[in-house]
Structure 1
Amino acid sequence: MEAAVRKLFERYESFFNRSLGDDVDMDKVASLYASDFIAASPAGVMTGKNDDQLKQVMEQGYARYRAIGTKEMRIRDVRISPIDQHHCLAHVAWTATYAREDQPDTAIDFEVHYLVQKLDDEAKVFGWVSGDEQALLKKHGIG
Protein backbone atom coordinates (compact mmCIF):
# COMPACT_ATOMS: atom_id res chain seq x y z
CA MET A 1 0.00 0.00 0.00
CA GLU A 2 2.67 2.50 1.04
CA ALA A 3 4.69 2.21 -2.19
CA ALA A 4 1.57 2.69 -4.33
CA VAL A 5 0.49 5.74 -2.32
CA ARG A 6 3.94 7.33 -2.54
CA LYS A 7 3.98 6.71 -6.31
CA LEU A 8 0.52 8.32 -6.57
CA PHE A 9 1.72 11.50 -4.87
CA GLU A 10 4.96 11.62 -6.87
CA ARG A 11 2.75 11.64 -9.99
CA TYR A 12 0.39 14.16 -8.34
CA GLU A 13 3.25 16.57 -7.64
CA SER A 14 4.68 16.13 -11.15
CA PHE A 15 1.33 16.66 -12.92
CA PHE A 16 0.54 19.68 -10.70
CA ASN A 17 3.83 21.38 -11.53
CA ARG A 18 3.50 20.65 -15.24
CA SER A 19 0.01 22.16 -15.12
CA LEU A 20 1.45 25.37 -13.67
CA GLY A 21 3.34 25.70 -16.97
CA ASP A 22 2.03 25.09 -20.43
CA ASP A 23 2.02 21.30 -20.14
CA VAL A 24 -1.57 20.75 -19.02
CA ASP A 25 -2.85 17.22 -19.61
CA MET A 26 -6.15 17.02 -17.78
CA ASP A 27 -6.57 13.32 -18.62
CA LYS A 28 -3.35 12.57 -16.71
CA VAL A 29 -4.44 14.76 -13.81
CA ALA A 30 -7.88 13.11 -13.72
CA SER A 31 -6.19 9.68 -13.67
CA LEU A 32 -5.10 10.43 -10.09
CA TYR A 33 -8.72 10.36 -8.90
CA ALA A 34 -11.30 7.62 -8.41
CA SER A 35 -14.57 7.70 -10.38
CA ASP A 36 -16.29 9.58 -7.52
CA PHE A 37 -14.91 11.71 -4.70
CA ILE A 38 -15.73 13.80 -1.64
CA ALA A 39 -14.01 17.03 -0.61
CA ALA A 40 -14.26 18.98 2.63
CA SER A 41 -12.94 22.38 3.66
CA PRO A 42 -14.21 25.28 5.76
CA ALA A 43 -16.25 26.25 2.67
CA GLY A 44 -18.30 23.05 3.06
CA VAL A 45 -18.50 19.50 1.81
CA MET A 46 -18.99 18.55 -1.81
CA THR A 47 -19.12 15.39 -3.83
CA GLY A 48 -18.33 14.95 -7.47
CA LYS A 49 -17.58 12.65 -10.34
CA ASN A 50 -14.37 12.23 -12.27
CA ASP A 51 -15.80 13.56 -15.53
CA ASP A 52 -15.41 16.44 -18.00
CA GLN A 53 -16.80 18.91 -15.44
CA LEU A 54 -14.04 17.96 -12.98
CA LYS A 55 -11.42 18.45 -15.70
CA GLN A 56 -12.88 21.87 -16.53
CA VAL A 57 -12.93 22.96 -12.86
CA MET A 58 -9.37 21.71 -12.36
CA GLU A 59 -8.17 23.50 -15.50
CA GLN A 60 -9.71 26.73 -14.15
CA GLY A 61 -8.00 26.08 -10.82
CA TYR A 62 -4.60 25.74 -12.47
CA ALA A 63 -5.23 28.94 -14.45
CA ARG A 64 -5.98 30.72 -11.15
CA TYR A 65 -2.82 29.33 -9.54
CA ARG A 66 -0.79 30.64 -12.50
CA ALA A 67 -2.54 34.04 -12.28
CA ILE A 68 -1.59 34.50 -8.61
CA GLY A 69 2.03 33.63 -9.31
CA THR A 70 2.27 30.01 -8.19
CA LYS A 71 5.69 28.78 -9.31
CA GLU A 72 5.71 25.30 -7.86
CA MET A 73 4.19 22.86 -5.41
CA ARG A 74 6.53 20.51 -3.60
CA ILE A 75 5.75 17.68 -1.25
CA ARG A 76 7.73 17.91 2.00
CA ASP A 77 6.37 14.72 3.53
CA VAL A 78 3.75 11.99 3.11
CA ARG A 79 2.55 10.24 6.26
CA ILE A 80 0.22 7.30 5.76
CA SER A 81 -2.43 6.10 8.22
CA PRO A 82 -3.77 2.69 7.06
CA ILE A 83 -7.49 2.06 7.36
CA ASP A 84 -7.67 -1.44 5.88
CA GLN A 85 -5.90 -3.39 3.12
CA HIS A 86 -7.42 -1.19 0.38
CA HIS A 87 -7.73 2.23 2.04
CA CYS A 88 -5.64 4.78 3.88
CA LEU A 89 -5.47 8.40 4.89
CA ALA A 90 -2.44 10.16 3.38
CA HIS A 91 -1.34 13.28 5.25
CA VAL A 92 0.56 15.28 2.64
CA ALA A 93 2.69 18.25 3.68
CA TRP A 94 3.09 20.68 0.78
CA THR A 95 5.15 23.82 0.18
CA ALA A 96 3.75 26.23 -2.39
CA THR A 97 6.10 28.86 -3.83
CA TYR A 98 4.68 32.10 -5.26
CA ALA A 99 6.48 34.65 -7.41
CA ARG A 100 5.94 38.16 -6.09
CA GLU A 101 6.41 41.34 -8.08
CA ASP A 102 9.24 43.46 -6.61
CA GLN A 103 9.55 41.06 -3.66
CA PRO A 104 11.30 37.78 -2.93
CA ASP A 105 9.37 34.58 -3.66
CA THR A 106 6.99 33.54 -0.89
CA ALA A 107 6.85 29.92 0.31
CA ILE A 108 3.77 28.71 2.19
CA ASP A 109 3.57 25.36 3.99
CA PHE A 110 0.23 23.59 4.35
CA GLU A 111 -1.24 20.09 4.66
CA VAL A 112 -4.00 18.28 2.84
CA HIS A 113 -5.39 14.95 4.04
CA TYR A 114 -6.32 12.58 1.21
CA LEU A 115 -8.52 9.50 1.30
CA VAL A 116 -6.85 6.91 -0.93
CA GLN A 117 -8.07 3.60 -2.30
CA LYS A 118 -5.71 0.99 -3.75
CA LEU A 119 -7.17 -1.58 -6.12
CA ASP A 120 -5.20 -3.74 -8.55
CA ASP A 121 -1.87 -2.21 -7.45
CA GLU A 122 -3.01 1.32 -8.34
CA ALA A 123 -3.81 3.97 -5.75
CA LYS A 124 -6.32 6.75 -6.45
CA VAL A 125 -7.62 9.70 -4.45
CA PHE A 126 -11.31 9.44 -3.56
CA GLY A 127 -11.46 12.33 -1.13
CA TRP A 128 -9.60 15.10 0.60
CA VAL A 129 -9.87 17.44 3.55
CA SER A 130 -8.13 20.80 3.33
CA GLY A 131 -7.88 24.01 5.31
CA ASP A 132 -8.99 27.49 4.30
CA GLU A 133 -6.77 28.12 1.27
CA GLN A 134 -8.12 31.62 0.64
CA ALA A 135 -7.47 32.77 4.21
CA LEU A 136 -3.94 31.33 4.10
CA LEU A 137 -3.17 33.12 0.82
CA LYS A 138 -4.65 36.38 2.12
CA LYS A 139 -2.54 36.11 5.30
CA HIS A 140 0.56 36.04 3.07
CA GLY A 141 -0.66 38.82 0.76
CA ILE A 142 -1.30 36.55 -2.22
CA GLY A 143 -4.34 36.42 -4.44
Structure 2
Amino acid sequence: MAAMIEGIEAKARALFEDYSRRSNALHDAEHADIDALADVFAGHFVGASPLGVMGGAKDDTFAAVMRQGFGNYRAMGGTRFEIVTIEVDVLDGFHAMVRADWEFDYVRPGDGAAGTIAFRNLYFVSFAEGEPRIFAWITPDEAQAMKDHGLA
Protein backbone atom coordinates (compact mmCIF):
# COMPACT_ATOMS: atom_id res chain seq x y z
CA MET A 1 0.00 0.00 0.00
CA ALA A 2 2.79 2.44 0.90
CA ALA A 3 4.51 1.82 -2.45
CA MET A 4 1.24 2.50 -4.30
CA ILE A 5 0.75 5.78 -2.42
CA GLU A 6 4.36 6.81 -3.11
CA GLY A 7 3.90 5.97 -6.80
CA ILE A 8 0.73 8.03 -7.10
CA GLU A 9 2.32 10.92 -5.23
CA ALA A 10 5.41 10.83 -7.46
CA LYS A 11 3.33 10.72 -10.65
CA ALA A 12 1.11 13.60 -9.49
CA ARG A 13 4.16 15.66 -8.54
CA ALA A 14 5.79 14.96 -11.94
CA LEU A 15 2.55 15.94 -13.70
CA PHE A 16 2.51 19.33 -11.98
CA GLU A 17 6.21 19.95 -12.43
CA ASP A 18 5.66 19.43 -16.16
CA TYR A 19 2.44 21.50 -16.09
CA SER A 20 4.34 24.34 -14.43
CA ARG A 21 7.20 24.17 -16.93
CA ARG A 22 4.83 24.17 -19.89
CA SER A 23 2.70 26.98 -18.41
CA ASN A 24 5.77 29.10 -17.84
CA ALA A 25 6.89 28.52 -21.44
CA LEU A 26 3.65 30.03 -22.70
CA HIS A 27 5.03 33.53 -22.23
CA ASP A 28 6.84 32.70 -25.49
CA ALA A 29 3.93 32.12 -27.88
CA GLU A 30 6.20 30.96 -30.69
CA HIS A 31 7.60 28.02 -28.69
CA ALA A 32 4.58 27.14 -26.56
CA ASP A 33 3.24 23.60 -26.77
CA ILE A 34 -0.41 24.19 -25.92
CA ASP A 35 -1.47 20.73 -27.10
CA ALA A 36 0.87 19.05 -24.60
CA LEU A 37 -0.43 21.36 -21.88
CA ALA A 38 -4.04 20.54 -22.74
CA ASP A 39 -3.19 16.85 -22.62
CA VAL A 40 -2.82 16.94 -18.81
CA PHE A 41 -6.60 17.39 -18.50
CA ALA A 42 -9.18 14.61 -18.43
CA GLY A 43 -11.79 14.26 -21.16
CA HIS A 44 -14.33 15.98 -18.87
CA PHE A 45 -13.62 18.47 -16.10
CA VAL A 46 -15.10 20.89 -13.61
CA GLY A 47 -13.68 24.12 -12.25
CA ALA A 48 -14.83 26.28 -9.36
CA SER A 49 -13.95 29.80 -8.28
CA PRO A 50 -15.69 32.60 -6.39
CA LEU A 51 -17.36 33.42 -9.72
CA GLY A 52 -19.14 30.03 -9.88
CA VAL A 53 -18.78 26.50 -11.14
CA MET A 54 -18.23 25.48 -14.75
CA GLY A 55 -17.71 22.18 -16.45
CA GLY A 56 -17.03 20.91 -19.88
CA ALA A 57 -15.48 18.44 -22.21
CA LYS A 58 -11.97 18.55 -23.58
CA ASP A 59 -13.14 18.94 -27.14
CA ASP A 60 -11.64 20.48 -30.28
CA THR A 61 -11.94 24.00 -28.82
CA PHE A 62 -10.17 23.29 -25.52
CA ALA A 63 -6.61 24.02 -26.70
CA ALA A 64 -7.77 27.19 -28.46
CA VAL A 65 -9.42 28.45 -25.27
CA MET A 66 -6.21 27.73 -23.35
CA ARG A 67 -4.16 29.51 -26.03
CA GLN A 68 -6.43 32.57 -25.72
CA GLY A 69 -6.11 32.53 -21.93
CA PHE A 70 -2.33 32.49 -22.05
CA GLY A 71 -2.46 35.20 -24.72
CA ASN A 72 -4.40 37.31 -22.23
CA TYR A 73 -1.68 36.74 -19.61
CA ARG A 74 0.97 37.88 -22.10
CA ALA A 75 -1.10 40.97 -23.00
CA MET A 76 -1.25 41.86 -19.29
CA GLY A 77 2.55 41.81 -19.18
CA GLY A 78 3.02 38.30 -17.81
CA THR A 79 6.66 37.24 -17.75
CA ARG A 80 6.54 34.14 -15.53
CA PHE A 81 3.75 31.75 -14.57
CA GLU A 82 5.16 29.00 -12.41
CA ILE A 83 4.27 26.62 -9.60
CA VAL A 84 6.61 27.20 -6.67
CA THR A 85 5.21 24.63 -4.20
CA ILE A 86 3.43 21.31 -4.82
CA GLU A 87 1.70 19.34 -2.06
CA VAL A 88 0.05 16.00 -2.89
CA ASP A 89 -2.58 14.18 -0.86
CA VAL A 90 -3.29 10.68 -2.16
CA LEU A 91 -7.02 10.08 -1.67
CA ASP A 92 -7.19 6.44 -2.77
CA GLY A 93 -5.64 4.13 -5.36
CA PHE A 94 -6.93 6.24 -8.26
CA HIS A 95 -7.15 9.86 -7.08
CA ALA A 96 -5.06 12.61 -5.56
CA MET A 97 -5.58 16.21 -4.52
CA VAL A 98 -2.78 18.62 -5.35
CA ARG A 99 -2.21 22.02 -3.77
CA ALA A 100 -0.22 24.14 -6.19
CA ASP A 101 1.16 27.53 -5.17
CA TRP A 102 1.54 29.60 -8.32
CA GLU A 103 3.41 32.82 -8.91
CA PHE A 104 2.57 35.13 -11.80
CA ASP A 105 5.25 37.76 -12.49
CA TYR A 106 4.37 40.72 -14.67
CA VAL A 107 5.61 43.99 -16.06
CA ARG A 108 2.54 46.18 -16.43
CA PRO A 109 2.29 47.42 -20.04
CA GLY A 110 0.97 50.87 -19.10
CA ASP A 111 3.70 52.01 -16.74
CA GLY A 112 6.35 49.27 -16.62
CA ALA A 113 5.71 48.49 -12.95
CA ALA A 114 6.75 44.95 -12.04
CA GLY A 115 5.15 42.67 -9.52
CA THR A 116 4.17 39.17 -8.53
CA ILE A 117 0.76 37.70 -7.81
CA ALA A 118 0.83 34.57 -5.65
CA PHE A 119 -2.14 32.24 -5.37
CA ARG A 120 -3.01 28.66 -4.47
CA ASN A 121 -5.06 26.36 -6.68
CA LEU A 122 -6.42 22.98 -5.66
CA TYR A 123 -6.52 20.26 -8.30
CA PHE A 124 -8.06 16.81 -8.37
CA VAL A 125 -6.24 14.18 -10.40
CA SER A 126 -7.50 10.84 -11.68
CA PHE A 127 -5.28 7.86 -12.46
CA ALA A 128 -8.23 5.75 -13.66
CA GLU A 129 -7.00 5.61 -17.27
CA GLY A 130 -3.41 4.86 -16.29
CA GLU A 131 -1.90 8.31 -16.74
CA PRO A 132 -2.68 11.15 -14.32
CA ARG A 133 -5.21 13.66 -15.64
CA ILE A 134 -6.63 16.79 -14.01
CA PHE A 135 -10.41 16.50 -13.78
CA ALA A 136 -11.23 19.34 -11.37
CA TRP A 137 -9.77 22.48 -9.89
CA ILE A 138 -10.64 25.19 -7.39
CA THR A 139 -9.15 28.64 -7.83
CA PRO A 140 -9.28 31.97 -6.02
CA ASP A 141 -10.69 35.05 -7.76
CA GLU A 142 -7.94 35.45 -10.33
CA ALA A 143 -9.71 38.27 -12.19
CA GLN A 144 -9.94 40.32 -8.99
CA ALA A 145 -6.26 39.71 -8.21
CA MET A 146 -5.36 40.97 -11.69
CA LYS A 147 -7.51 44.08 -11.14
CA ASP A 148 -5.92 44.66 -7.73
CA HIS A 149 -2.53 44.75 -9.46
CA GLY A 150 -3.77 47.10 -12.21
CA LEU A 151 -3.61 44.41 -14.91
CA ALA A 152 -7.25 44.24 -15.97
Q: Pick the TM interval, shorter chain.
A: over 0.9
In structure 1, the residue matched to 2:121 is 112
Larger radius of gyration: 2
In structure 2, the residue matched to 1:38 is 46
d(CA) in 2 for partners of 1:122 and 1:6?
13
Is residue 103 of structure 2 the alignment partner of residue 79 of structure 1? no
Q: Alignment identity in percent? A: 34
Amino acid at match of 1:17: N
d(CA) in 2 for partners of 1:82 and 1:93?
18
For normalisation by structure 2, the TM-score amounts to: 0.87
Query: Deviations for 1:90-134, whole angstroms, at most 9, x for unmatched residues?
Result: 010111100135444201110000011124652111110001011
How far residue 26 of structure 1 moved from its aligned partner, in angstroms, is 2.4
- Residues 81 and 105, structure 2, Cα contact 8 Å, conserved in 1: yes
For normalisation by structure 1, the TM-score amounts to: 0.92
How far residue 25 of structure 1 moved from its aligned partner, in angstroms, is 2.2
Structure 2 regions of 5+ residues with no counterpart?
1-7
Out of 20, 24, 48, the position equivalent to 2:27 is 20
Structure 1 regions of 5+ residues with no counterpart?
none
Cα RMSD of the aligned pairs, angstroms, is 1.5
In structure 2, the residue matched to 1:56 is 64
How far residue 52 of structure 1 moved from its aligned partner, in angstroms, is 1.5
How far residue 48 of structure 1 moved from its aligned partner, in angstroms, is 0.9
**Bigger strand fraction:** 1
